[in-house]
Each structure stands twice: as structure tokens, then as C-alpha cells.
């Protein structure tokens, strides 16, 4: 719409700057009224489909991310293809993929619980096996950072020395966790991170992180500090 200057003064519309004279407004009834600052179309229907991608609060208003026209069709085709691939992988109908993913997530949650229980039992056995063993160096494969931490914490309680656990990540790096009950590992860990291209930290008696080094390099570092 093209209100007169007098009509414009009575309207509440959005604009990034003060306007006067002949102003073109675009209205989405009940939603928005703003000064046109984009492409000039005869009517809003020429824009075609409009897809809102996200809506979130922003300062005193709302910020929306949207696409329109052919971009919407391209977007929906991409989403449809993704959903098709998911339905094939899950052996579920395209309209039932969300439910299939929920079932898979629930199954994964149960399995992770079983794995954690089995790990806890294995860590307790390792801790008993290392009773009064002094300093302990352990290597594992494919273990999550939290599992590395829990194993080091368990053995630390019984070995009466320092426990260092490393898990091969398969990309040339190792996750690590090192603990010593009542000890102060700060200087040792600083030296290790420097020697083995590592990063990490924590409390004086317990630290976690990653190193980019080989197993031989890690073993040599600890041999030099016996």
C-alpha cells in the first residue's frame, strides 16, 4: 500500500530510518507492517512459498530465519531426500522415521547403561589387581574420555602411587587421565604436555586431556620419570 503522508503519520510500521513523502509499505495482515526495503513485487504472492527455519527472541523483539521461492522447494527436496535415506537405514516408512529414531535412542540409552555397568565391574577388578602396585601405566583402545577418567580414578585409590591411563583415539592421538591420591601432578603434567604435544588439566591430584604422540613416545616419557 501507498499511504499519503498524513496517513503514514497515523500508522505503526517498521523502518530502519525516519521516512517522509511517498513511502511504500508491505503488510502481512495481523503480523507485520514495514517500509519496503527489498525487491519490489506487485503483490506478496509473487514471492511464492515462504518457509520459516527458526524463530527466537532477540532483544525486544523476535528474530526469524526464513527462505522463499525456489529456495523453499530446494530445501524441502533436500529434507525429503535426507528423510528417505534415514527411512532406508532404519527400515521404517518415511512418515515413521521420528518414532524409529526415538526407539533407537532408547535402545542406545539402555545399552550404554549396560556398558557402564560392565565397565564399572571391570574397573573395580583392575583396581583390586593393582593393589599396592605403585605407579601404574595403562593403555586402552577406543575408550571414551569419561571411561578413561573412571578407570584412572578407580586404580588411583588402590595402587598407592600414580595411575596414568591412555586410550588410543585411532587418529594418532590419545585421551589420558592421570591421578595420584594426595599428590600434586601439575609440574609433571606440564612437562608431559610439552613433550607429547598435549593439552589438558584439572585438579592438582587428577588431570585429563589429550596428547598427539605414539605409544612408544608415551612409554618413553614415563620410563624417564621412574
Average pLDDT across the chain, whole number: 92
**Helices of type H across the chain:** 5-10, 70-90, 97-129, 145-159, 186-195, 215-223
* pLDDT surpasses 90 at 3: no
The pTM score is: 0.65
Q: What pLDDT is recorded for position 226?
A: 77
pLDDT, tens digit, 9 for 90 and up, residues 169-195: 989 899 999 999 999 999 999 999 999
pLDDT, tens digit, 9 for 90 and up, residues 151-163: 999 999 999 999 9
3-state secondary structure 115-159: HHHHHHHHHHHHHHHCCCCCCEEEEEECCCHHHHHHHHHHHHHHH
Contacts (Cβ under 8 Å, ≥6 apart) of 172: 212, 214
Where are the chain's structural domains?
Answer: 5-47, 131-223
* pLDDT surpasses 70 at 38: no
pLDDT, tens digit, 9 for 90 and up, residues 207-226: 999 999 999 999 999 999 87
Mean pLDDT of 51-55: 93
CA distance 52 to 46: 17
Q: What pLDDT is recorded for position 132?
A: 95
Q: How confident is the model at residue 39 (pLDDT cuts 50, 70, 90)?
A: low
Torsion of CA 29, 54, 64, 44, to 10 degrees: -40
Contacts (Cβ under 8 Å, ≥6 apart) of 224: none
Q: What is the CATH number of domain 131-223?
A: 3.10.310.40
Q: What pLDDT is recorded for position 22?
A: 80
Q: What pLDDT is recorded for position 28?
A: 87
Give Dmax (Cα) for the chain.
91
Contacts (Cβ under 8 Å, ≥6 apart) of 14: 32, 33, 34, 35
Query: Which has the higher per-residue pLDDT, 69 or 166?
Result: 166
CA distance 139 to 148: 10
Q: What pLDDT is recorded for position 47?
A: 84
Residue 42: DSSP 8-state: S
* pLDDT surpasses 70 at 37: no
C-alpha cell at 188: 609433571
Q: How confident is the model at residue 14 (pLDDT cuts 50, 70, 90)?
A: confident
Amino acid at each position: 500500500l501507498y499511504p499519503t503522508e498524513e496517513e503514514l503519520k497515523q500508522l505503526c510500521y517498521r523502518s530502519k530510518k525516519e521516512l517522509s513523502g511517498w513511502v511504500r509499505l508491505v503488510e502481512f495482515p495481523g503480523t507485520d507492517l514495514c517500509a519496503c526495503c527489498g525487491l519490489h513485487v506487485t503483490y506478496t504472492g509473487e514471492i511464492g512459498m515462504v518457509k520459516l527455519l527458526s524463530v527466537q527472541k532477540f532483544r525486544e523483539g523476535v528474530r526469524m530465519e526464513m527462505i522463499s521461492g525456489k529456495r523453499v522447494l530446494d530445501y524441502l527436496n533436500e529434507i525429503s531426500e535426507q528423510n528417505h535415506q534415514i527411512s532406508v537405514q532404519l527400515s521404517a516408512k518415511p512418515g515413521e522415521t521420528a518414532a524409529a529414531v526415538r526407539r533407537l535412542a532408547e535402545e542406545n540409552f539402555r545399552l550404554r547403561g549396560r556398558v557402564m555397568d560392565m565397565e564399572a565391574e571391570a574397573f573395580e577388578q583392575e583396581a583390586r589387581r593393582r593393589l599396592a602396585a605403585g605407579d601404574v601405566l595403562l593403555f586402552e583402545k577406543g575408550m571414551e574420555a569419561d571411561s578413561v577418567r573412571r578407570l584412572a580414578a578407580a586404580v588411583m585409590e588402590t595402587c598407592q602411587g600414580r595411575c596414568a591411563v591412555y586410550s588410543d583415539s585411532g587418529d594418532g592421538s590419545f585421551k589420558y587421565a592421570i591421578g595420584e591420591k594426595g599428590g600434586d601432578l601439575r609440574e609433571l603434567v606440564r612437562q608431559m604436555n610439552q613433550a607429547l604435544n598435549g593439552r589438558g588439566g584439572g585438579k592438582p591430584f587428577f588431570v585429563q586431556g589429550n596428547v598427539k604422540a605414539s605409544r612408544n613416545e608415551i612409554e618413553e616419557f614415563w620410563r624417564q620419570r621412574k
